Amino acid sequence: MERLSITAAALPADQPTIRAPDKQSVLHRVKAMREYRRDYEERWKDIRDHQLPFIGEFGDTADATNKARRKDLMISNGVAWLANIAFAAGMESGLTPPSRQWFKFGFSNSSANEDMEAASVLDIRQEIVEYMLHRSNFYNSIHSCYMEIAHGQAPLGVFASPETGVRFQQYTIGTYYLASGASGRVDTFCREFQMTADQLLEQFGEENLPRAVKDALQNEGGRYNKSFTTYWLVMPNRYRTVGQSGNKNMPYTSLYWIDKQSVDEGKGFLFTGGFEEFPVPTARYQTIEGSPYGKGPGWYAEGDARMLQIMKKDFLTAVELMVKPPMKGPATIGEIGGVDLIPGGYTNVNSTGTKPTIEPLFQVPGNPEWLATEIQRTEESIRRTYSADLFLMLDSIDTPQMTAREVMERQQEKLQQLGPVVERLQDEFLSPIIERVYNIAERMGLFPPLPEELAERMADQDIKIEYISPLAQAQKMSGLVNIEQAVSFAGQMAQIYPEALKAIDPIGTVKRYFELLGAPAVMQRSTEEIMQMIAAEQEAMEQQQEQQYMMQQAQAMAPAAQAAKNLTDAANDGNPALQNLLGIGGG
In a domain, 289, yes or no: no
Q: In the listed set 279, 294, 316, which residue is the last one of a domain according to the structure?
A: 279
Q: Report DSSP letters for 284-313, one per residue.
A: ESEE-TT-S-EE-HHHHTHHHHHHHHHHHH
Among the candidates 279, 303, 325, a domain finishes at 279
Measured between alpha carbons, how far apart are the two ends of the chain, in Å? 97
pLDDT digits (tens, 9 = 90+) for 464-523: 999 988 888 777 766 677 787 788 878 888 888 888 777 888 877 777 777 776 666 667
d(CA 27, CA 230): 13
**pTM above the 0.85 mark?**
no
pLDDT category at 303 given cuts 50, 70, 90 is: very high
Q: 402 lies in a domain?
A: no
Residue 220 lies in a domain: yes
Q: Map residue 338 onto helix, strand or coil.
A: coil
- Contact of 21 with 253, CB cutoff 8 Å: yes
Is 537 part of any domain? yes
List CB contacts of 469: < 8 A, sequence separation 6 or more.
94, 95, 96, 97, 100, 102, 103
pLDDT digits (tens, 9 = 90+) for 240-297: 777 777 777 899 999 999 987 665 555 689 999 999 999 999 999 999 888 999 999 9
Q: Is the pLDDT of residue 397 over 60?
A: no
Domain-located, residue 568: yes
Q: What would the mean pLDDT of 68-89 be, rounded to a whole number?
A: 90
> How many helices (H) and strands (E) would you count in the chain?
20, 14
SS3 content of the chain, % helix, strand, coil (to 5): 55, 15, 35
* pLDDT band, very low/low/confident/very high, at 351 (cuts 50, 70, 90): low
If one counts the domains in the chain, the total is 2
Q: Count CA atoms closer than 13 A to 483's CA, side-chain side.
A: 17
Looking at residue 467, its pLDDT comes to 92
Domain boundary among 257, 279, 301: 279
Instruction: Print the domain residue range for 571.
Output: 528-582
Query: Looking at residue 59, what is its pLDDT?
Result: 78
Is 101 inside a domain boundary? no
Q: Is residue 392 one of the residues assigned to a domain? A: no
pLDDT at 367 over 70: yes
* Residue 539: inside a domain: yes
What are the tens digits of pLDDT across the range 105-161? 989 887 787 788 888 999 999 999 999 999 999 999 999 999 999 999 999 999 999
Can you tell me whether residue 178 is helix, strand or coil?
strand
pLDDT confidence of residue 14: 36
Would residue 56 be called left, alpha or beta, if left means φ above 0 and alpha means ψ between -120 and 50 degrees? left
**Quick check: 237 pLDDT over 60?**
yes
